[in-house]
């Protein structure tokens, strides 16, 4: 399936609804910067654009319309992503619903993270989806996620309880019967037990798709999970694909870092596609250029240069190896991920609010002289220094 096939069925709907102010891209530029590849999501029968839209920083419905014009057909959102669901809803009245894949989460519309806990009543799971549908102005979700397993609890069994919550599964059956959701999915960006929890989801038989953090910076166990998912007919979507998304201009022969990072992920046939936060038109134009493109030696050079510059300052999402060395129980992985949101993603408010939810944050590092945490990082990350910076930045506005 190519972009022409995707748009053909929606030609009247798309051409008639996009205003001249939205369609300012010349035909030659559109051909250069457009989705060229769609991949199957497991055995669902759905095909997603290999570069797809993460709605975590979505502020304009026009961005959705622009993305669809570029051939993007998969949009990821959540109730706790600010106004994201409402903004997508504004665009949906102008789009052919059957051509769009929408994924949202079992969450409340509160400050992130607002995931529904294990044991939540069946009616509350259903009410959460109904509220999402209202905001999205649609009558069904293609995927509903049990989101971010391994984020809030180090206990793999406690997170498995959320993954396989009886009430949630009953609610899913009811929602499917009512045709309000098509498929159940789950995601994990760690920092705890990412690979094991995704494997448990795959083996449960309840999940049609899983999403995990995956990039070129040291995820040695995840390829086996991806292969296992494919063998079971379960789709795998990659996120956090830019390894911290540092604001740099590393290029070789005109190739951008983002495109090199995306092409590295997409060269793995087990990947159904990747989700990336798209904040503006410039990023949209740049990111879709990686669609359907082969990973080259020049791309590898770009990634090697990035790794050389940032390997020791990038806390690997999904890794929690250093936390066992901290006698005070600081939630290192979560604290440094929220700082990444603050410093590199431009999500300052969300990062500060999320950091405030941690039971043990990096305040404990202030007078600690135990060097074990740094010694516990297999990648040479300066753990204590980065935690001190995180606490300084993420507490400045909350006292």
pLDDT of residue 65: 97
- In terms of C-beta distances under 8 Å and separation of at least 24 residues, what long-range contacts does 318-321 make, across chains too? 318/150, 318/188, 318/189, 318/190, 318/191, 318/194, 318/195, 318/212, 318/213, 318/219, 318/222, 319/190, 319/191, 319/218, 319/379, 320/154, 320/190, 320/191, 320/192, 320/193, 321/376, 321/377, 321/378
Phi, psi values for residue 36, rounded to 5°: -120, -5
State the pLDDT confidence band at 12, using cuts at 50, 70 and 90.
very low
* Percent of the chain residues topping a pLDDT of 90: 56
d(CA 247, CA 26): 28
State the pLDDT confidence band at 150, using cuts at 50, 70 and 90.
confident
139, 178 contact by CB (below 8 A)? no
Average pLDDT for residues 36-64, to the nearest whole number?
A: 95
Lowest mean pLDDT among 71-85, 185-199, 244-258, 262-276: 244-258
Q: Where do the CATH 3.20.20.100 domains begin and end in the chain?
A: 3-304
* Percent of the chain residues topping a pLDDT of 70: 84
Q: When comparing pLDDT for 315 and 38, which is higher? A: 38
pLDDT of residue 200: 97
User: Alpha helix (H) ranges present in 267-331?
Assistant: 281-287, 297-310
Name residue, tokens 């391994």: 150
Average pLDDT for residues 156-169, to the nearest whole number?
A: 95
- The number of angstroms, rounded, from the C-alpha of 155 to the middle of its chain's C-alpha atoms is 22
pLDDT of residue 172: 98
pLDDT of residue 370: 72
pLDDT of residue 152: 75
Average pLDDT, the chain: 84
303, 216 contact by CB (below 8 A)? yes
Q: When comparing pLDDT for 323 and 381, which is higher? A: 381
pLDDT of residue 19: 33
Q: When comparing pLDDT for 380 and 146, which is higher? A: 146
pLDDT of residue 28: 40
On the question of pLDDT at 5 being above 60, the answer is no
Average pLDDT for residues 195-224, to the nearest whole number?
A: 94
pLDDT of residue 396: 61
pLDDT tens for residues 301-317? 999 988 888 877 777 76
CATH level 3 topology of 3-304: TIM Barrel (3.20.20)
pLDDT tens for residues 341-369? 777 767 787 778 878 888 788 787 777 77
Which tokens go with 152? 């809030």
Average pLDDT for residues 23-30, to the nearest whole number?
A: 38
Which tokens go with 72? 């993007």
């Amino acid at each position: 399936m190519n972009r022409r096939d995707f748009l053909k069925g929606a030609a009247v709907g798309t051409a008639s609804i996009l205003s001249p102010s939205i369609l300012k891209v010349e035909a030659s530029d559109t051909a250069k910067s457009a989705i060229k590849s769609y991949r199957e999501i497991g055995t669902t029968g759905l095909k997603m654009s290999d570069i797809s839209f993460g709605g975590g920083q979505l502020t304009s419905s026009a961005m959705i319309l622009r993305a669809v014009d570029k051939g993007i057909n998969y949009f990821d959102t959540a109730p706790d992503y600010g106004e994201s669901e409402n903004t997508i809803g504004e665009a949906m009245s102008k789009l052919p619903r059957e051509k769009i894949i929408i994924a949202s989460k079992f969450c409340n519309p509160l400050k992130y993270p607002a995931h529904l806990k294990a044991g939540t009543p069946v009616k509350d799971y259903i009410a959460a989806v109904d509220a999402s549908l209202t905001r999205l102005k649609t009558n069904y979700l293609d995927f509903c996620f049990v989101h971010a397993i391994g984020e809030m609890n180090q206990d793999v069994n406690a997170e498995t309880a959320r993954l396989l919550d009886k009430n949630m599964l009953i609610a899913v059956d009811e929602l499917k019967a009512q045709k309000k959701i098509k498929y159940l999915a789950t995601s994990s960006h760690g920092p705890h037990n990412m690979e094991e929890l995704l494997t448990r989801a795959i083996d449960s038989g309840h999940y049609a798709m899983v999403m995990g953090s995956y990039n070129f910076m040291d995820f040695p166990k995840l390829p086996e999970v991806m292969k296992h998912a494919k063998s079971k007919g379960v789709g795998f979507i990659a996120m956090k694909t830019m390894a911290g998304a540092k604001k740099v201009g590393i290029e070789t022969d005109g190739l951008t870092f983002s495109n090199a990072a995306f092409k590295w992920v997409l060269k793995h046939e087990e990947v159904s596609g990747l989700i990336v936060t798209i904040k503006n038109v410039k990023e949209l134009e740049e990111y879709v250029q990686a669609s359907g493109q082969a990973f080259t030696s020049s791309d590898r050079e770009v990634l090697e240069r990035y790794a050389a510059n940032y390997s020791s300052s990038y806390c690997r999402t999904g890794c929690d190896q250093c936390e066992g060395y901290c006698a005070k129980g600081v939630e290192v992985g979560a604290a440094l991920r929220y700082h990444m949101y603050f410093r590199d993603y431009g999500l300052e408010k969300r990062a500060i609010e999320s950091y405030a939810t941690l039971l043990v944050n990096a305040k404990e590092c202030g007078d600690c002289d135990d060097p074990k945490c740094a010694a516990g990082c297999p990648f040479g990350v300066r753990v204590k220094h980065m935690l001190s910076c995180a606490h300084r930045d993420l507490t400045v506005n909350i006292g």
